[in-house]
A = this chain, B = another copy of it.
Amino acid sequence: MANNSTGTVFTVTTFGESHGPALGCIVDGCPAGLPLDIADIRAELSRRRPGGGGPSTTRAEADEPEILSGVFEGKTLGTPIAILVRNTNPRSGDYDALKDLYRPGHADWTWEAKYGFRDHRGGGRSSARETLGRVAAGAVAKAFLNTQGIVIRSWTSSAAGVDAPAFGSPGFDIDEVEKNPLRFPSRAGADRVLTKIENLRGLGDSAGGKVSCRVTGLKPGLGEPVFGKLDARLAAAMLSLGAAKGIEFGAGFSAAYAQGSANNDRPIPRRSSRDLPPGVPDLDYDTNTAGGVLGGLSTGMPLEFTVAFKPVPSIAQKQETVDRSGTVRELVIGGRHDVCVCPRAAPVVEAMTALVLADLVLLSRLDRANS
């Protein structure tokens, strides 16, 4: 499978450059008979659009999706679902000054080193706008996962140096996430972040942060050993996002400092049994340091992971770089840029999670000979 596709049986191919005619995706392998509405896709695209007054870029395109195929009379056909979003407000001229300059922290030069050639407008395909196709595809995956009782929630768990309360701890409010432009799970925290971000914006600077994701409703045993493990698949999905620099599951990096006696989650009996193979008892765990995955397979406990994002590299401050002739040059980046990617990354994290899970849920139909 080529570079721009992902998935084994529920596969997605994305296309499009930031300032080309359009972006979009093809979802291939979505089973037939799934109710799917353009509104499902529009809603997710709208979540990744710049919010009002928040830390996000002010490029406010409509991002109106069109379903080109694969849906008939409101249901999926089993054929490829192609979704198109036109670029309507490119303002390519903003980028003319950058044509021969390699922006620090961006892929301008590595892209040229590979292909010998690039679309310099807005980062071309290395733009975060590329995730638009992923989000559209993720909306299809979510529609499928909804029928399985699987719920995915993501939020900004750290931004501009402010950490959110941990899930379930005092002050953590999941209902707050979609109410503030930072997708921060605490109103007070969101206000603190906002202040920091406005301050950074004034300085022409940017901030890193983290996005956490939590999935409930997964049946135990989801994942494909040995190279298609649940956590391996998610790690690839998350590190395929432009600004991501790390991922951890459950206790994550702190597990590197833990001892086995404390880190081992203890199986405990479970009263109500989920759909398991004959002879296999259902169980829970007393803790969830594993983050819901053992041996690359879901444990049935909530799946929990966190992604680290670097500060937005497009800062307003004057920077030094090198130009196409190899000469040192000063660079000032104009245009529209987020201060912190996390609020807009959260729905993309959800979308990528949905793509991985839809694939694995379908693959689990193949686990046993007599299913």
Contacts and interface: CB of A to CB of B under 8 A. Distances in A.
Contacts of A369: 30-34, 76, 144, 147
A58 interface: no
Given A5-B13, A104-B267, 7 more contacts: A4-B226, A22-B69, A79-B225, A110-B220, A114-B223, A232-B235, A256-B308
A95 B207 CA distance: 51
Which 6 A/B pairs are nearest by Cβ-Cβ distance? A107-B295, A116-B277, A114-B221, A246-B248, A113-B221, A206-B260
B32 A367 contact: yes
A167 interface: no
A297 B110 contact: yes
Interface in A264-317: 264-269, 276-283, 289-291, 294-300, 308-315, 317
Interface in A168-215: 200, 203-210
Given A16-B82, A248-B245, A260 B68 contact: no
Interface stretch (A39-47, A48-56, A117-125): A117-125
List the number of copies, as a whole number: 4
26 contacts: A1-B1, A1-B5, A2-B9, A2-B224, A4-B227, A9-B363, A14-B226, A21-B68, A22-B68, A31-B367, A31-B369, A33-B117, A77-B115, A78-B367, A109-B280, A109-B294, A109-B299, A110-B294, A113-B277, A114-B220, A208-B263, A245-B256, A246-B252, A258-B310, A260-B315, A269-B322
Contacts of A7: 2
A287 B322 CA distance: 14
Contacts of A370: 33, 147
Contacts of A233: 236
A109 B269 CA distance: 12
Which range contains the number of A residues in contact with the other chain? 35 or more
A345 to B, nearest CB: 11
